[in-house]
Amino acid sequence: MKVMVVGGGGREHAIIKALKKSPEIEKLYALPGNGGISRDAECVNIGAKDIDGIVEFAKNTGIDYAVVAPDDPLVLGAVDALNAVGIECFGPTKAAAIIEGSKVFSKNLMKKYSIPTAAYETFDDMDSAIAYLNTIPAPVVVKADGLALGKGVIIAQTRDEAIEAVRSMMADKLFGESGSRVVIEEFLEGPEVSVLAFTDGNTLVPMVSSMDHKRAGDNDTGLNTGGMGAIAPNPYYTADIAAECMDKIFMPTVNAMKAEGRTFKGCLYFGLMLTANGPKVIEYNCRFGDPETQAVLPLLESDLFTVMRAVSAGKLSETEVKFADKHSCTLVLASNGYPGKYDTGFEISGECDTNASVYIAGAKREGEKLYTAGGRVLAVSCIGDTLKDAVDASYREAEKISFENKYFRHDIGARALKA
């Protein structure tokens, strides 16, 4: 079969490397992919948000199956457009992708179906939002309604900071139209867990849990990034908590989406916080997480393509989804300065052991050589019998890769090792 993956980051590279193992796939395309992905799939220069271009390419090339990985095309309706020309897809329709596309939608869904989440109010008028802030204590969390490249969340330590956050979103349009509505919510505390789950709209199968490391600096300091590393499984996520989440969060969400006429098929991502009052949903994503996918998929023993097709066919209950009983660590190598300003264009050299997976996020290729082309350049993922083995192996392997201005955190997995 001819399969295309929409997207072009480290997550897509991990998906492509997993799909490559499937005997059923003859040819893999990435739209647009990147210089590193071009070693594993044919990259086609069509942007992930160019829905018309994606559909045209798929029709003309005779694509049999499409995996739409990033949030933007999903929220824009890429799956609906591909389905309309008869192409089967992994990923939710536009109606279901709203679970990530609108925080107001997802918060209201959780309220309606009693799914545990932070208490909140929503506002589409700045004066009312500010009046409300004057009645509640800080810290408080201000969130733009729509997609904002993962940056639309401001944790305000004081009331003044919260008011400033609302002004920047609603008056100054810091995140464009995404901020024309805001959610103001209770500040929660506790370890965070990411759970990616396969669901066909009826059955849900959680993948191995994971922990992202969102801040740029060691010990969770500095700016928020797209993620500087991940480990899996997350030691805070015990079997008891997993059972509670299945019962109170995961299945209620799948059933709620179905009841709303928005059946969700694809990968549903639960961003959870394990609070003193039990697990609560911090966010939903309508897709695989980045960099969690780079830590989770290396542990998948089942054929990813078989699982994806079972999801889109509504036959997940008949399919085995098996993960290795091991540990995984993903270390992101970034360009110094990320998520702020950074220089690119430096040659990437070095080879990792064949047991390590290298997933390229931001690189361009010239001949056989790769050059840095993004903030997050690549991720090195290693598996071990213990978390410590996995973490040590990732750091050891990452040392073998060099490029000018290479930057990485030194404490990926440290918090988990202490748990």
Which chain residues interact with ligand AMP by CB under 6 A? Answer: 118, 141, 150, 153, 155, 185-188, 192, 214, 271, 282-283
Closest chain position to ligand AMP (CB): 283
- Residue 62's φ and ψ, nearest 5 degrees, are 70, 40
Stretch that binds ligand GLY, among 79-87, 168-176, 284-292, 376-384 (CB under 6 A): 284-292
* Whether the Cβ atoms of residue 264 and residue 286 lie closer than 8 Å to each other: yes
The reply to whether 384 sits near ligand GLY by the rule CB under 6 A is no
Nearer to ligand AMP, 44 or 188 (CB): 188
The encoded tokens of residue 125 equal: 């008028």
Closest CA relative to residue 30, chosen from 49, 50, 12 = 12
Residue 285's binding partner out of ligand GLY, ligand AMP, none, with CB under 5 to 8 Å set by partner kind: ligand GLY
Q: Please say whether the beta carbons of 33 and 359 come within 8 A.
A: no
Q: State yes or no: residue 72 binds ligand GLY (CB under 6 A).
A: no
Specify which residues 142 forms β-bridges with: 154, 184
If binding is defined by CB under 6 A, does position 225 make contact with ligand GLY? no
Closer to ligand AMP at the Cβ: 34 or 330?
330
Residue nearest to ligand GLY (CB): 289
Please choose which of ligand AMP, ligand GLY, none residue 217 contacts, taking the beta carbon within 5 to 8 angstroms, the exact cut-off set by kind: none
The reply on whether position 290 binds ligand GLY by CB under 6 A is yes
Which amino acid, one-letter code, is at 222?
Answer: G
d(CA 105, CA 286): 13
Written as six digits, the tokens of 298 are: 């290396």
Which of 73, 92, 227, 339 touches ligand GLY (CB under 6 A)?
A: 227
Rounded least distance, CB 9 to ligand GLY, Å: 10
**Is the distance from CB of 292 to CB of 212 less than 8 angstroms?**
yes
Q: Smallest distance, Å, CB 319 to ligand AMP?
A: 29
289 binds, options ligand AMP, ligand GLY, none, Cβ within 5 to 8 A by partner type: ligand GLY
Q: What is the largest CA-CA distance in the chain?
A: 61
Asked if 229 is part of the footprint of ligand GLY (rule: CB under 6 A), the reply reads: no
Q: Which does 290 bind (CB under 5 to 8 A by kind): ligand GLY, ligand AMP, none?
A: ligand GLY
- How many CA atoms does the CB half-sphere of 174 hold within 13 Å? 19
Rank residues 50 and 292 by Cβ distance to ligand GLY and give the closer one: 292
By C-alpha distance, which of 413, 271, 236, 262 is closest to 332?
413
Among 102, 285, 357, 394, which residue interacts with ligand GLY (rule: CB under 6 A)?
285
Q: Which helix (H) or strand (E) holds 5?
A: strand 2-7
Assess contact for 144 and 168: CB atoms under 8 A.
no
The two tokens of residue 176 are 């464009």
Question: Which ranges in 64-208 belong to alpha helices (H)?
Answer: 71-76, 78-84, 94-101, 103-112, 126-133, 159-170
Specify the residue, 55 or 196, whose C-beta has the smaller distance to ligand AMP.
196
Residue number with CB closer to ligand AMP (143 or 365): 143
Residue 185 contacts which entry, ligand AMP, ligand GLY, none (Cβ below 5-8 A, type-dependent): ligand AMP
User: Residues interacting with ligand GLY, by CB under 6 A?
Assistant: 150, 212, 227, 285, 289-290, 292
